[in-house]
Amino acid sequence: MLSLRGLTRRFGGLTAVDSIDLDLAKGELVSIIGPNGAGKTTLFNLVTGLDRPDAGTVRFEGQDITGLSPERLAGEGIARTFQLGRVFGNLSVMDNVLIGAHTRLRAVKPAVPVIGPLLELGLALLRPASVKAEEERLREEVRAILARFGERLLPRIDQPAYSLSYANRRRVEIARALALQPRLLLLDEPTAGMNPTETAEMQALVAELKAEGLTILLIEHKLEMVMRLSDRVIVMDEGRKIAEGPGEQVRTDPKVIEAYLGHGLSGAAEQESAA
């Protein structure tokens, strides 16, 4: 479904992503782990079009999507969450998640230049019954998505996102990604800053999504969660892929242990596996 070949991105003298090959089959959940600064988030940026590679290709469903704009890729069904929780602060939870469904709106579909946008403006102002019905349907759908987070978000549905807790912002981000009805979902540290209970909830949700057949690429530091959920684990260090395989195999790989311990004698690995 997704296949990366020789993907490379340099920032000045630093090679943040260094000829990465990666294949992801439909319905698979692959995790990317590695010390901070290994290039995981940069890799996500390259796949989602927020950054362009210096070399290499990205193919999605057999189509070359290298260097396409993020808005095009969203239209192709690639959704992502952000490491630092980029919600729309002044929008309500409902509106945040509705933005996720933006690419599915009928009003935004016509790609004709000038006429398409003007039609969109006209539809927004006139709001015929079909537009109203679509909006209502999407609102129902958003409530259903929010219900997957139990009572975390539903009671706050009309609150602006800036008033939410950190963990709730992460949840809003995931809800927004689900509203896109993605074919490929990229989750960048969905449990960062969450306590063990919240992490367990998130893990259950990701497991559910996987069971529903969603294809997921996951960046995560909490190794226990990675081991439970992943079909395969990819370990990155200094931009390169240093190991790939089933969780248990990767965990005992001497190169992986060295990458974690050799760089951070402060004990990044222990801390994370303990967390």
249: Cβ contacts below 8 Å, ≥ 6 apart = none
Q: Which of residues 125-164 bind other proteins (CB under 8 A)?
A: 125, 127, 131, 135, 160, 162
The answer to whether 226 and 4 are in contact (CB under 8 A) is no
Taking the complex as a whole, the smallest distance from the CB of residue 124 to other proteins amounts, in Å, to 4
**Closest CB to other proteins among residues 73, 234:** 73
**Closest CB to other proteins among residues 176, 210:** 176
**Closest CB to other proteins among residues 10, 263:** 10
Give the burial class of 273: count Cβ atoms within 10 A of its Cβ; 0-12 exposed, 13-18 middle, 19 or more buried: middle
Tell me the pairing of strands 14-24 and 2-11: antiparallel
Rule CB under 8 A: choose which of 82, 152, 170, 216 binds other proteins: 82
Taking the complex as a whole, the smallest distance from the CB of residue 238 to other proteins amounts, in Å, to 17
Could you say whether residue 52 binds other proteins (CB under 8 A)?
Answer: yes
**Closest CB to other proteins among residues 72, 228:** 72
43: Cβ contacts below 8 Å, ≥ 6 apart = 4, 7, 17, 20, 32, 236
Rule CB under 8 A: choose which of 22, 47, 68, 79 binds other proteins: 79
Rule CB under 8 A: choose which of 30, 33, 87, 187 binds other proteins: 87
Taking the complex as a whole, the smallest distance from the CB of residue 42 to other proteins amounts, in Å, to 8
**Closest CB to other proteins among residues 124, 257:** 124
CA–CA dist 140, 97 (Å, integer): 11
191-199 CB contacts, 8 Å cutoff, 24+ apart: 191/220, 191/222, 191/225, 192/83, 192/221, 193/166, 193/167, 194/167, 194/170, 195/167, 198/167, 199/225
Please, what sign has the CA dihedral across residues 108, 86, 170, 241? positive
Please, what sign has the CA dihedral across residues 194, 250, 204, 189? positive
**Closest CB to other proteins among residues 17, 225:** 17
Taking the complex as a whole, the smallest distance from the CB of residue 235 to other proteins amounts, in Å, to 23
**Closest CB to other proteins among residues 179, 256:** 179
* Residue ranges binding other proteins (CB under 8 A): 11-12, 45, 48, 50-52, 69-71, 74-75, 79-80, 82-84, 86-91, 95-96, 98-100, 102-103, 105, 107-108, 117-118, 120-121, 124-125, 127, 131, 135, 160, 162, 176, 180
